[in-house]
Amino acid sequence: MTRQRRYFGTDGIRGRVGDGVVTPDFVLKLGWAVGRVLANGKNSRVIIGKDTRISGYMFESALQAGLSAAGVDIYLLGPMPTPAVAYLTRTFHAQAGIVISASHNPYHDNGIKFFSAQGTKLPDDIELEIEAMLEQPLETVDSTRLGKAHRIDDAAGRYIEFCKSTIPSGVDLSNLKLVVDCAHGATYHVAPDVFRELGAEVMVMGAEPDGFNINQHCGSTEPSLLQQAVLENKADLGIALDGDGDRLIMVDHRGEIVDGDELLFIIARSRQRQGDSSNDIVGTQMSNLGLEHALEKFDMALHRAKVGDRYVMEKLQQVGGQLGGEASGHIICLDKTTTGDGIVAALQVLAEIQQSGNSLHALRSVVTKYPQQLINVRVKKMVDIDANEDITRAVEAVEAELGSEGRVLLRPSGTEPVIRVMVEGRDAPLTKKLAQQLASTIEGVLKG
């Protein structure tokens, strides 16, 4: 029987600071447990990066203490995008990389996520080993074996050069005017330089973090100000990253949002045009039917995984694919790196714009998206929605009304106490009405 994970969710450990396990004492113990599980003797080292949340200082110190107590050396990056931590974990031959971040969540949340020595998410069996170690008493190694802390001063420069290397050296962005929104997050000191060094004219937003403003009215989750800035500055396009830099949303010159589904198609079509990619593309249960149909036109197949980059990666490995992603903008280019990377994904799109001579608007117009309505139903505790007969009947009624022209998806969030209700169909007013109807029913059932 598979053991249930107690602490780890779909993307590490996450929650409100001071609640549950998102506390300094737990994180210290977590650092020790990780060190004990992953350490391999005298040369054990772990990379630690963080986003710009105020609580990052506290958790960085706690992790450092725990790892040192386990006899592991610590290499501190400071604020650094999640994918940069994955990259630097590989290049420094560390046993693991740790990111202190709650991604797109507000500042009062934080979390811890991990990368293996290969720059990939930790496998389930390792997470279970760490959880088992957390149940053991913390024992500090002899003082002669305590881990030492080091700071990597050139981490940003290393990552910038890596990002630039993911597109052909002949690609010049000097004729592009970009607005880049860093969400007051971990990319604030690297993303603008990446695009500038490739020749683009760059206007920067969301690059003044104060510990509290991460993702606040900015970034990939709230791109309205970016849309406005693109239009006001007559820019060619806008780039919106999230707080830890692993998600990407773009805005075309008309101020229209280009989401992860459309960006995934653009990159997939670019790879196909160049003859260097698999025709098996991975999306999720939330991926729009329009993406699936657009890929089919070019003899590419969409394989749907459960929502979450962990599951996208698993499906990519199953089908032998190189490209996968989510509508939220988490795009994995396995031919370039080992995890979702907003800057790298943006560069692939910019390279296709330059090489094809088409605008972002023209490239995304190939995908005709179905109207999709998403409503979050907040719950006090997670329940098994599949086992509830009232909810099942409500879903069946909506599916019957949509017929073959749409679909319904209910999904508990892996990071928040909400159930996501998604209805997709050709008719926008009907889709909206049915989603509201279903969400209301579910809310009533769960409160009753």
Cα–Cα distance, 203 to 192 (Å, whole number): 8
| β-sheet bridge partners, residue 141 | none
Q: Which position among 103, 116, 220, 270 bears the catalytic label? A: 103
Ramachandran region, residue 140 (left: φ > 0; alpha: ψ -120 to 50; beta: rest): beta
Residues 80, 98 contacting (CB under 8 angstroms) = no
Residues 342, 101 contacting (CB under 8 angstroms) = no
- Distant-in-sequence, close-in-space partners of 294: CB < 8 Å, separation ≥ 6: 265, 366, 367, 368
Rounded to a whole number of angstroms, the CA Rg of the chain reads: 22
Greatest alpha-carbon span in the chain? 70
In this structure, is the dihedral angle defined by the CA atoms of residues 302, 307, 313 and 318, taken in order, positive or negative?
Answer: negative
Q: For tokens 């009232």, name the residue.
A: 390
In this structure, is the dihedral angle defined by the CA atoms of residues 351, 354, 356 and 361, taken in order, positive or negative?
Answer: positive
> What H or E segment, with its residue span, contains residue 237?
strand 237-241
Cα–Cα distance, 263 to 242 (Å, whole number): 16
Please give the angle made by the CA atoms of 384, 385 and 389, to the nearest 5 degrees. 115
For residue 93 the two structure tokens come to 């031959």
Active site residue 103: yes
Q: For tokens 């290393």, name the residue.
A: 158
Active-site amino acid positions = 103
